[in-house]
Amino acid sequence: MSGPGVSIELAGRIPGETEERLRELLVELSDHFTQERPDSYFMGVVPQRLGIATADDPDHSRPFCVSFGGPGYAYEDVFAGDHDYPDLDLGGLIGFTPAYDLHVIGTCNRQVDHVTAAMLTASVMDIVGGVVNIEVSERQLPAVRALPGFLGHADGWGRVFGSQEMLRSWALHPGFRLG
């Protein structure tokens, strides 16, 4: 079953030293870690290392992939498709035109996976910066708009943009679930 996915929009390619700090964070948060390509990390994230309490199986890690997109990365064509928003000035909405992105993808779909995806993404943003891009339902939109760090909504696309503060706040909200 497919799990939650979150994107971080980036104004440019992150420098090598920042990428190394990111790699160190991912290793620290995981009980196993592999890097099969320079732009993709596969890991078992331990939710407790992100401050997430789990009642069931507290020692069990959650499978995640973190991968870069954009010019020069393996998923360059996916990046172009992900940013094709007709009639939307994404740069005007978030303050820059994305040149790269970073995806945090869970491969399981329980609530703990959604919370872990949000908190992992916020921790990644603490290092790489950027603007989070998440999918929300129309029912969730009013709650998300009221969160600190909310930047904007792409009408008709179900996409919301904001800071890591918005993402952390949303993960603690009673109606939280990533699209």
Residue 9: give its domain's CATH number. Answer: 3.30.310.80
For 105-158, how does the pLDDT look when each residue is reduced to its tens digit (9 = 90+)? 999 999 999 999 999 999 999 999 999 999 999 999 999 999 999 999 987 778
- Model pLDDT, residue 100: 93
Average model confidence (pLDDT) across the chain: 90
What DSSP element (H or E) covers 106?
A: strand 100-106
* Within a domain: 146: no
> Which band of pLDDT confidence, cut at 50, 70 and 90, is reported for residue 56?
low
> Averaged over 36-62, what is the pLDDT?
85
Residue 117 lies in a domain: yes
165 located within any domain: no
Residue 152 placed within a domain = no
Q: Which two tokens stand for residue 26?
A: 């991912």
Q: Which sign, positive or negative, has the C-alpha torsion 105, 174, 51, 60?
A: negative
pLDDT of residue 54: 75
Confidence of residue 72 (pLDDT cuts 50, 70, 90): confident
**CA 57 to chain CA centroid, nearest Å:** 24
In terms of Cα–Cα distance, which of 100, 94, 96 is closest to 68?
Answer: 100
112: in domain = yes
State which residues form the domain around 123: 5-128
**What is the reported pLDDT for 124?**
98
pLDDT of residue 58: 58
Residue 74 DSSP SS3: coil
Contacts (Cβ under 8 Å, ≥6 apart) of 60: 54
Q: Which residues contact 119 (CB under 8 A, 6 or more apart)?
A: 47, 50, 51, 52, 168, 171
Q: What is the pLDDT of residue 106?
A: 95
pLDDT at 174 over 80: yes
- Segment 44-55 shows an average pLDDT of 88
Asked whether residue 16 is domain-assigned, the answer is: yes
pLDDT (0 to 100) of residue 43: 96
175: in domain: no
3-state secondary structure of 23: helix
- 83 in a domain, yes or no? yes
**Per the structure, how many domains does the chain have?**
1
